[in-house]
Amino acid sequence: MAVAHISSLESFRSGRRLASLLRGHDDVGSAVQAARMALQSRSEPPNRLALWDETVHGLFEANLGEAVVLVFLRLSEQWPAQPSVEDLIAIGRAVRDIGCNTGSRVAHALLVELSKVLPRLAGAGELTVVLDALRRLSEEGPESVGLAVNRLEQLLAHASAEDFAAWVSAGLRASGGRAARRRAYFALDDALSKRLFALGRTSDDLARLEKRLAATTVALWGRRPRFRKLPMATTSAPQRTSLAAGLIGLPESFAGFEGERADAIYLAAVAHAGAHLVHSTVRFPVGRLKALQLALVSLIEDARVEALALREMPGLRRLWLPFHVAARSDQATAVGLMTRLSRALIDPDYQDSDAWVVKGRTLFATASERWTDPSISREIGGLLGNDIGQMRLQFNPKSYVVEPAYRDDNLALWDFGDLPDAETETIELAVDSVRIERREDAGGRSADDSAKPEETLRARASAVTLLDGLPVATYPEWDYAAGIERADWTTILEADAGASAKPFDLPADTDAMRRVTRLTRDASIGRRLRHKAQRDGDALDIDAAIALTVERRSGYLSEPRVYQRDAPGPRDLAVLLLMDLSQSTADRDRSGRTVLDVECKTAAIMTAAVEAANDAIAVHGFNSDGRERVRYLHIKDFDEPMDTVVRSRLAGLGSSHSTRLGPALRHAGSYLTGRRAFRRVLLVLTDGEPSDVDAPDPRYLAEDARRAAQQLRRRGIDIFAFGMGGGRLAQLDRIFGERYALHVPRIEVLPHRVMQLYAELKK
């Protein structure tokens, strides 16, 4: 009774304080009385009413305006029996805190939006999770709270509170402290924002249907398929199936297809993919074809393989035809005509009066006796492309998406060659396609260890330019603060290093060159061979001793060869030198040499020494400009000699941008993983700590690089770092370990560090 009396007294006093504060604000005072009476009618305990009074008091004193207080009071008056009034109090406190950081307009909008989404936040603690995420956003990015609040109902329509909180956290980290990036992210104008939020709200239809799809592919084509779930697209363009290296890549779900329609489009997609695997027997060279011609040749090839499939299995038409919905239109566009032609080539009942569509249909039907020849796709597609060019119809390759939705992105049909001999214009294809990539799990294992790095090339050709390189893979990145690994967070752009007119001069017969060559040649790096049944040796050969004893007891006399001896076997070493090409490598030492000069000289000496010992060595380089632009340059590959071409690339290296070390390590590791050797060594030449323009804090990239190095060691790769130049290099020990981070302030020190490196490799 005493406790109840005290609670009632506190409630009375809080009510008196609130009434005193609101004296002269009649509208608010009346609303407070109405809301309080509504809460009292619910038999709320007095102490809870006292907390509610304090919440209203705090909102009013926050000077957010009467409109904000009145909305909260109306919400209180209409508060349902469930959830608890404690949730109402939490809303009031959160609105006060957020409003103090962002202003009254955002506070008012937040109350309005929360009233709409409350039914979706009925789970235990879900409301608290959303409010905490918004409170954090108001502290770290106040200019973006209104953008997120205005889309709150949209965001929570399919996602959980935890998904929403993760999306907010990712946005704050990805923006790198830049307000403009935050605004784009939280306004859902950013591709990453859409992609990350979609991760939490898409259903995984592929997982549900995978067994059925596999059985369908075997039944139709007699082939056991290898399916691969595609990562979420980084753009808003709809995803399409992707074929590469014998794998059928399928999205987790097709946007806009649910229930039976989802089942149907997956079946149509694998049937179409199987037709390509069976009938698309050659890859077309890109040459100098323009984007429109690529798209049209791909369209005809799609129709060709389907026509061949329909000859054997006419029932497939019922599977594919429902997705061809293009209709005649008075307004002709390039994309519109292409979708109409797609339907005309599969639907015999479809009639179209457009002369271009009629011509395409006629050309395709006339070539029916040659449908088994893939070259007709190139011929017909080229003719139709010339016609559209003469019609002056616009074609935007950035927005073009293959239709209908069950068809694949067509990138597997094309051989992009080496591209340097082609025109330097942008080659833009159907969609922002997905590629074969090495996404490492927590144990450091590759998602597809059988795939080689070469198989990743040409897998995505969206907005590819020679200057930027080909996007070949995405990799995860470790967020030490959140304790999670963000999948597909970084993108590797690959290219050959540019060549200089004057090749790099190999170091002369210097002391450093001679000593490194001798150390490398004399190092015993390889499998130890065990020689058994020897006359003398280091240990007794038990098998030989037993055999000798048996022979003697049987009356035979033979030479006593009962020892075994271990000896070095043939050298079996693969080394990959990874050069840091960031802007900081342009710094000069007291003698005027840049760090990059020292790196290049080190790479040249190491390459010459390793080649002299008949070991395999590759030299690659990297720098970065944000997580989506980690440039990876090929200077010398394993099978290339250190000739004039390679030395020209070495001379053409320059310093620019930043040092995102983690993804570069992972990508270099993928090349070493595919190399058969007893010892595989990754040697990083760097001048300092990892950094990048969008790194949230100095430790973030260092911790990710450390995790990447640990994962590579678990995969059997030896990883070392040569710290180049006279800097402190404080983070190298943390990333690579004290024994494996070796300081090379000048080239004269190199032999000592090489000696340490080989000493570690012998252990």
Over residues 417-432, the mean pLDDT reads 38
Residue 481 belongs to some domain of the structure: no
What torsion do the CA atoms of 751, 752, 754, 756 make, to the nearest 10 degrees?
170
Residue 282 has a pLDDT of 84
List Cα–Cα distances, 575 to 222, 617, 636, 668, 707, in angstroms: 43, 5, 12, 11, 21
pLDDT at 603 over 80: yes
Same domain? For 155 and 216 the reply is no
Residue 415 belongs to some domain of the structure: yes
Residue 513 belongs to some domain of the structure: no
Name the band, by pLDDT with cuts 50, 70 and 90, for residue 3.
very low
Report whether 466 contacts 420 (CB < 8 A).
yes
Over residues 716-729, the mean pLDDT reads 82
Name the band, by pLDDT with cuts 50, 70 and 90, for residue 241.
confident
Among 199, 215, 249, the domain boundary falls at 199
CATH number at residue 700: 3.40.50.410
Q: pLDDT by residue (tens digit) across 311-356?
A: 999 999 999 999 998 877 766 788 889 999 999 999 999 988 889 9
Name the residue with higher pLDDT: 642 or 580: 580
CA-based torsion, 375, 376, 377, 379: positive or negative: positive
Over residues 729-740, the mean pLDDT reads 85
In three-state secondary structure terms, 205 is helix
Name the band, by pLDDT with cuts 50, 70 and 90, for residue 450.
very low
Residue 224 has a pLDDT of 81
Amino acid, single-letter form, for residue 369: E
Over residues 64-81, the mean pLDDT reads 83
Report whether 27 contacts 65 (CB < 8 A).
no
Taking alpha carbons only, the member of 300, 685, 345, 627 closest to residue 488 is 627
Residue 194 has a pLDDT of 64
Give the CA radius of gyration of the chain: 34
Q: pLDDT by residue (tens digit) across 403-416?
A: 888 998 888 888 76
Q: pLDDT by residue (tens digit) across 663-688?
A: 999 999 999 987 877 788 899 998 87
Q: Could you tell me the end-to-end alpha-carbon distance of the chain, in angstroms, rounded to an integer?
A: 77
Ranking 258-267, 322-331, 684-693 by mean pLDDT, the lowest is 322-331
CA distance 600 to 651: 8
Please report, rounded to a whole number, the percentage of residues in the chain having pLDDT higher than 70. 81
- Give the pair of three-digit tokens for residue 622: 């990297």
Residue 431 has a pLDDT of 33
Taking alpha carbons only, the member of 315, 227, 328 closest to residue 269 is 227
Over residues 695-722, the mean pLDDT reads 90
What torsion do the CA atoms of 650, 656, 661, 662 make, to the nearest 10 degrees?
-110
DSSP assignment of 310-356 equals HHH-TTHHHHHGGG------SS--HHHHHHHHHHHHH-TT-----HH
Report whether 182 contacts 171 (CB < 8 A).
yes
Same domain? For 169 and 317 the reply is no
Report whether 442 contacts 708 (CB < 8 A).
no
pLDDT at 661 over 90: yes
Name the band, by pLDDT with cuts 50, 70 and 90, for residue 237.
low
Residue 135 belongs to some domain of the structure: yes
* Count of other CB atoms within 10 angstroms of residue 33: 15
Q: Print the domain residue range for 748.
A: 573-762
pLDDT mean across residues, the chain:
79
pLDDT at 84 over 60: yes
pLDDT at 649 over 80: yes
Over residues 403-431, the mean pLDDT reads 61
Burial track 120-147 (b if 16+ CB lie within 10 A, e otherwise): bbeeeebbbbbbbbbbebbebbbebbbb
Name residue 486's beta-bridge partners: 477
In three-state secondary structure terms, 377 is helix
Helix axes 260-279, 205-221, angle to 10 degrees: 40
Burial class of residue 85 (count of CB atoms within 10 Å of its CB; 0-12, 13-18, 19+): middle
CA distance 237 to 724: 44
pLDDT at 6 over 60: no
- Give the pair of three-digit tokens for residue 145: 């709270």
Give the list of residues 6+ apart from residue 218 with CB closer than 8 angstroms, or none. Answer: 224, 225
Name the residue with higher pLDDT: 709 or 395: 709
Name the residue with higher pLDDT: 111 or 516: 111
Ranking 138-147, 212-221, 751-760 by mean pLDDT, the lowest is 751-760
Residue 459 belongs to some domain of the structure: no
Instruction: Please state the pTM of the whole predicted model.
Output: 0.47
Query: Which long-range CB contacts under 8 A does 173-176 form with residues at least 24 apart?
Result: 173/479, 173/481, 173/482, 173/696, 174/627, 174/694, 175/141, 175/694, 176/693, 176/694, 176/695, 176/696
Same domain? For 256 and 372 the reply is yes
Among 434, 450, 473, the domain boundary falls at 434
Over residues 705-718, the mean pLDDT reads 92
pLDDT at 441 over 60: no
Name the residue with higher pLDDT: 35 or 439: 35
Report whether 575 contacts 618 (CB < 8 A).
yes
Residue 365 has a pLDDT of 92
Name the band, by pLDDT with cuts 50, 70 and 90, for residue 442.
very low
Angle at 402 between CA 400 and CA 404, to 5 degrees: 130
Residue with tokens 């956003």: 137
Report whether 627 contacts 660 (CB < 8 A).
yes
Same domain? For 235 and 195 the reply is no
- Give the pair of three-digit tokens for residue 570: 């043939």
Ranking 38-52, 175-189, 502-516 by mean pLDDT, the lowest is 502-516
Taking alpha carbons only, the member of 396, 390, 619 closest to residue 497 is 619
Same domain? For 369 and 224 the reply is yes
CA distance 576 to 674: 12
CA distance 290 to 619: 34
pLDDT at 637 over 60: yes
Same domain? For 137 and 123 the reply is yes
In sequence order, which ranges of 156-312 are alpha helices (DSSP H)? 161-174, 179-186, 191-199, 205-221, 260-279, 291-312
Same domain? For 407 and 337 the reply is yes
List Cα–Cα distances, 400 to 403, 404, 612, 720, in angstroms: 9, 12, 52, 45
Same domain? For 53 and 177 the reply is yes
Characterise 469 by phi-psi region: left (phi > 0), alpha (psi -120 to 50), beta (else).
left
Residue 299 has a pLDDT of 94
Distance of CA 95 to the CA centre of its chain: 36
CA distance 304 to 692: 48
Name the residue with higher pLDDT: 262 or 255: 262
Query: Which long-range CB contacts under 8 A does 695-698 form with residues at least 24 apart?
Result: 695/176, 695/660, 696/172, 696/173, 696/176, 696/177, 696/481, 697/481
Residue 488 belongs to some domain of the structure: no
Residue 454 has a pLDDT of 35
* Count of other CB atoms within 10 angstroms of residue 175: 23
In three-state secondary structure terms, 113 is helix
Residue 18 has a pLDDT of 56
Q: What are phi and psi of 228, to 5 degrees?
A: -140, 130
Name the band, by pLDDT with cuts 50, 70 and 90, for residue 304.
very high
Name the band, by pLDDT with cuts 50, 70 and 90, for residue 462.
very low
Burial track 207-243 (b if 16+ CB lie within 10 A, e otherwise): eebbeebbebbeebbeeebebbebbbbbeebbbbbbb
Among 183, 199, 215, the domain boundary falls at 199
Residue 451 belongs to some domain of the structure: no
Residue 203 has a pLDDT of 52
Amino acid, single-letter form, for residue 179: A
pLDDT at 236 over 60: no
Amino acid, single-letter form, for residue 445: R
Over residues 144-160, the mean pLDDT reads 79
How many domains would you assign to the chain? Answer: 4
Residue 703 has a pLDDT of 93
Same domain? For 246 and 115 the reply is no
Over residues 191-199, the mean pLDDT reads 61
Same domain? For 543 and 580 the reply is no
Q: pLDDT by residue (tens digit) across 352-405?
A: 888 999 999 999 999 888 899 999 999 999 899 888 888 878 787 777 888 888
Same domain? For 412 and 294 the reply is yes
Residue 567 has a pLDDT of 59
CA distance 681 to 717: 6
Cis peptide before 83 (omega within 30 of 0): yes
What is the longest distance spanned by two Cα atoms in the chain? 123
pLDDT at 199 over 70: no
Same domain? For 346 and 208 the reply is yes
Residue 360 belongs to some domain of the structure: yes
Ranking 460-474, 631-645, 668-682 by mean pLDDT, the lowest is 460-474
